[in-house]
Every structure is written in structure tokens, then in C-alpha cells.
């Protein structure tokens, strides 16, 4: 099976992560969960309660990573999925992850980002001249790094597909799976 990286860390959003975790194998893609270290990570759930201006965070499930960022060889993977939640706020400082992300973007492999995942692409220098979407409060992470933010459910720009939040997972994964299949077909 073709392998796809799933980027997580503590405070990764449950639905941003578990939807691709279960969806990708349905089309014969092996999901390899990557984190700063090989360990059990704590996911969180985000919900905006009525009357609140911001999301409330509560504890979610746990997920074991398979590989540490420093041990990733980008040539072993055909795509990368960057989950959201609060994890990207600190993951964007991991130089090994930034190197992997930039390499895969430069190699034109399919890259998917949801919600705060855009922060990793911004820190890796992958958004200049790109059009992308994210949760509205992270729009500055696109525009400050030379990209064009649009408030749409799912946005495709070459090998990058982005979505705002977990409610956009269906269209995000539909397009990401299509891109992965096309990449796999073209690259044997």
C-alpha cells in the first residue's frame, strides 16, 4: 500500500485526525502517524458553545504515533495530511517537520491541511503565492506568509488542498483521496 503521513501532536483535534485515519485505508492508503516522538498523544475536541466567541476545548481520545518527525524519509510517502487543533501552534517550531513538509510540497506530492494545520505550512515557507483556506482566526497565517486566504469549504491550489475546520472533512478528504490516487497512478 502507498503510505501517507498523518501529522499529530498533543492537542490535535479529534475529528481533524480520526476522519483521515479511518478514511484513507478505505482506498488502500496506509496511514503512518507521525509526531515529535513515538508515543501516545492526547487529542482534544473543539466546540463553540452557544453565546461563546471562541471554541471550548475538552479532552478526547488518544492516538499512538508510528514515527518521530526526525526519522521520516519523505521519499517513503506519497502524501501528507496535517491535522488541526492546538498542536500546530508548537509543532510549527519542529525543524524536522518543517523540512519534511517543505520537501513534500516541493516534490508536488498531495498535501492536505485542515484548520490550524496551515500554521505548519506557513512556518515551512510553503504558502507564498498560494491560495488556501483555514479557520478564519488563522487567515493571517496565510496572508502574512504571502498567500491568498479565501473563506471556502475546501480550496485546491496545485498539490495543496486545504479546509477550514472538521465540518469540511467530507469535501477535504474527497479531494485529497482523488489527488493521492492521481499521484499514485502517475508515479507507479
- Cell 503521513, located at residue: 5
Question: What grid cell was written down for 62?
Answer: 488518544
Cβ proximity of 187 and 159 under 8 Å: no
Burial class (CB in 10 A: 0-12, 13-18, 19+), 123: buried
Rounded average pLDDT over 59-69: 94
Per-residue pLDDT reduced to its tens digit, 110-122: 999 999 999 999 9
Tell me the domain boundaries of the chain: 2-124+173-186
Q: What is the reported pLDDT for 172?
A: 98
Q: What is the reported pLDDT for 81?
A: 98
pTM of the model: 0.95
Q: Annotate 20-37 with b (16+ C-beta within 10 A) or e (fewer).
A: bbebbeeeebebbbbbbe
Cβ proximity of 77 and 20 under 8 Å: no
Percent of the chain whose pLDDT exceeds 70: 99
pLDDT category of residue 13 using cuts at 50, 70 and 90: very high
Does residue 55 have a pLDDT over 90? no
Q: If you classify domain 2-124+173-186 with CATH, what class do you get?
A: alpha beta
- Tell me if residue 116 is catalytic: yes
Does residue 45 have a pLDDT over 90? no
Does residue 188 have a pLDDT over 80? no
Amino acid at each position: 500500500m502507498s503510505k501517507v503521513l498523518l501529522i499529530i501532536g498533543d492537542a490535535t483535534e479529534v475529528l481533524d485526525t480520526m476522519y483521515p485515519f479511518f478514511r484513507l485505508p478505505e482506498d488502500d492508503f496506509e496511514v503512518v502517524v507521525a509526531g515529535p516522538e513515538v508515543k501516545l498523544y492526547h487529542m482534544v475536541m473543539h466546540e463553540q458553545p452557544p453565546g461563546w466567541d471562541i471554541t471550548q476545548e475538552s479532552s478526547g481520545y488518544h492516538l499512538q504515533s508510528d514515527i518521530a518527525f526526525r526519522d521520516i524519509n519523505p521519499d517513503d510517502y506519497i502524501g501528507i495530511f496535517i491535522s488541526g487543533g492546538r498542536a500546530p501552534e508548537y509543532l510549527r517550531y519542529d525543524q524536522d517537520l518543517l523540512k519534511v513538509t517543505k520537501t513534500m510540497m516541493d516534490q508536488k506530492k498531495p498535501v492536505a491541511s485542515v484548520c490550524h494545520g496551515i500554521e505548519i505550512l506557513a512556518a515551512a515557507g510553503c504558502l507564498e503565492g498560494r491560495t488556501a483556506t483555514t479557520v478564519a482566526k488563522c487567515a493571517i497565517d496565510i496572508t502574512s506568509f504571502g498567500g491568498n486566504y479565501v473563506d471556502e469549504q475546501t480550496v485546491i491550489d496545485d498539490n495543496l488542498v486545504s479546509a477550514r475546520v472538521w465540518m469540511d472533512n467530507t469535501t477535504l478528504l474527497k479531494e485529497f483521496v482523488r489527488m493521492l490516487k492521481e499521484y499514485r497512478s502517475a508515479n507507479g
